[in-house]
A and B are shown apart, each in its own frame.
Chain A
Amino acid sequence: MTSLLEIQGLSKNFGGFTALDGVSIDIRKGERFGLIGPNGSGKTTLINCVSGALPNDAGRILFAGEEISRLPAYQRTRRGIARSFQIPRPFASMSVLENLVVPLEYVVHRGSLHTADTRSEAMEILRGMGLADKADTQSNQLSQVELRKLELARAMAARPQLLISDEAMAGLSSNEISEVLEILFKLNAAGITIIMIEHIMQAVMKFSQRVVCLDAGRIICEGTPASIVQDAGVQRAYLGA
């Protein structure tokens, strides 16, 4: 399999604090990739650098073979990197459906005028997420699990090749977790590469084909879910053993 996302020697400092220190990760097309690490280990900083919300200080990011480190976030989205946010950030003044129309208009159908198509396309995505009956609900009226699904739905509306799911399951019940997991498996089966950042170990272990563990901005372990939980460094840093 070929690489979709290559992160090479990525570093990021906030003043004197080193959030990322020479991180290199290679993510293959179609892969289900798990990113774990204790709070403050740099997971969100890493995906902020990948998605373009933060500029990286050193290193390179290549997506589908092209360097994207200097592109603004919206252009990275247009190239195929979409993300959900850890704390849901809905467009609160819009309905659920309209939330999806934004990426559809700005990424998928740029310059075309077929509003009706956009809406039916948005509806299609909502159906896949189990949000179809909420399409006309104002997005600030949603429950927590619905907000998480909306985050994923809006990311999917950009028709990405790579989906970064930033703690889409934190704070959800176990039923809701399996619901979201099922959605992510389905998307992956449709050919989308997924990076899952998660604290809920059963979910990451079940979902990922490969897992990287970050600690204090460095990769301390990389491997299959089974090998990760055996690693002494991971147990010390993350599992608190």
Chain B
Amino acid sequence: MRNFFIGAAVLLALAAGLPAFVKVEYYYVLGYTVLQLIILATAWNILGGFAGYVNFGSGAFFAVGAYTAVSLYKALSLPLGLQILAGAATAGLLGLGVGLLTLRLRGIFFSIATIAITIILETVVLNWAYVGGAKGLPILRPTEVPLFDNYTQWLFFVMVVIAVIAVATARYIQSSWIGRGLRAIRDNEGAAECSGVPTLKLKLFAATISGALMGAAGAPYAMLGSFIEPTSAFSLNHAVNALAMPIIGGTAHWVGPVIGAVLLGTVQQVVTVTISSEINVLVVGVLLVVFVVAAPEGILGLVKKFTGGKK
């Protein structure tokens, strides 16, 4: 427990001190992208990995966070911190709402509903002129940057903070009675309920937290490129990455999604730069299939297998 928080503090200090050594803006964009993947994968895993309810609509939660932030910035010029909180709250409510409508049923219904929600919300935003509709909306970043040399460095630092919060949340849930309850749900929901686990409440809790973290990941999105448009905000790539990375890393432990996201995120960026930005999507797809077939417990499962037992 203590080691984790020391690690998190060291990480934050490093991120804050990084601009003294690294000046090239591209590295911060790269880091931002990987951090975004870590948050999305960790958030997805709270519901998908721990409880076994697969969310195909990560893009919707991400975009709801992004558009909440953008509309508040445009209307009230809210600072980034408040934009992120608002984005997380809205996406969390969306998680709760979708959960209330579908999590009473078991199995695939939640997954189907999350796809539908993505399509519905994208259609709404496409027709919402205030945030630019299909044309998209250019954003003027605030001219004053707190603490850092430029706004990209500041965004990078903010993403490190969100990622630390996301991973700490997942870690807490996993090691607490909540995590055990979610695992019981994944293993056998009927038996969990008969063991006194309030399955519906726990699933709603997980859906809300998971949604909120995805919303937080999406909130600064428009600021990074100074622009937002629906197709990329709602992109299926968010959903594919969010579920592929935990599955490749290993869904049973909070560190699985982090490993998956760092590994795949880096590979994707290298492939994007060296080969093509189209191929990087293919890389994820192929690896996902390979892992599902050959190593369903992900990299963590492989490590466990070769070290012969307990971690």
Contacts and interface: CB of A to CB of B under 8 A. Distances in A.
Interface string A174-192: 0000000000000000000
Interface stretch (A23-31, A99-107, A229-237): A99-107
Nearest to B186: A93
Contacts of A42: none
Contact of A94 (B177, B187, B193, B196): B187
Contacts of A93: 183, 186-187, 252
Interface residues of B, number: 20
B193 A53 contact: yes
Contacts of B192: 91, 102
Contacts of B184: 91, 94, 102
Interface string A79-98: 00011010001111110001
Nearest to A158: B196
B24 to A, nearest CB: 44
Of A52, A74, A93, A158, most buried by chain B (CB within 10 Å of CB) is A74
A53 B194 CA distance: 8
B186 A106 contact: no
A78 interface: yes
A90 B180 CA distance: 13
Nearest to A51: B194
A160 B259 CA distance: 43
Nearest to B180: A102
A77 interface: yes
Nearest to B177: A105
A149 interface: no
Given A102-B180, A105-B177, A106-B181, A72 B195 contact: no
B194 A82 contact: yes
B198 interface: yes
Contacts of B187: 90-94
Contacts of A98: 180
A198 B181 CA distance: 30
Nearest to A78: B196
Given A74-B199, A106-B196, A89 B180 contact: no
A73 interface: yes
A210 interface: no
Nearest to A82: B194
Interface in A205-240: none
B274 interface: no
A161 to B, nearest CB: 14
Given A74-B199, A101-B180, A106-B181, A91 B191 contact: yes
B188 interface: yes
B134 interface: no
B180 A53 contact: no
B186 A74 contact: no
Contacts of B195: 74, 77, 102-103, 106-107, 154, 157-158
Interface in B178-228: 180-181, 183-184, 186-188, 190-200
Contacts of B200: 72
Contacts of A92: 187-188
B181 A73 contact: no
Given A89-B188, A105-B180, A106-B177, A72 B196 contact: no
Given A93-B252, A94-B187, A73 B180 contact: no
A109 to B, nearest CB: 9
A74 B50 CA distance: 20
B252 A73 contact: no
A83 B199 CA distance: 17
Of B181, B191, B196, B199, most buried by chain A (CB within 10 Å of CB) is B196
A89 B192 CA distance: 9
A158 B197 CA distance: 11
Contacts of A107: 195-196
A153 to B, nearest CB: 11
Contact of A74 (B180, B188, B196): B196
B194 to A, nearest CB: 6
Contacts of B193: 52-53, 72-74, 77
B191 A85 contact: yes
26 contacts: A51-B194, A52-B193, A53-B190, A53-B193, A72-B200, A74-B195, A74-B196, A74-B199, A82-B194, A85-B190, A89-B188, A89-B191, A90-B191, A91-B183, A91-B188, A91-B192, A92-B188, A94-B183, A102-B180, A102-B181, A102-B196, A102-B197, A105-B177, A106-B198, A107-B196, A154-B191
Given A53-B193, A72-B200, A82-B194, 16 more contacts: A53-B190, A74-B196, A74-B199, A77-B194, A90-B188, A91-B187, A91-B191, A93-B183, A94-B184, A101-B180, A102-B180, A103-B195, A106-B195, A107-B196, A155-B194, A157-B195
Question: Which 7 pairs across A and B sit closest by C-beta, in order of nearness?
Answer: A107-B196, A106-B196, A91-B187, A89-B191, A103-B195, A73-B193, A89-B188
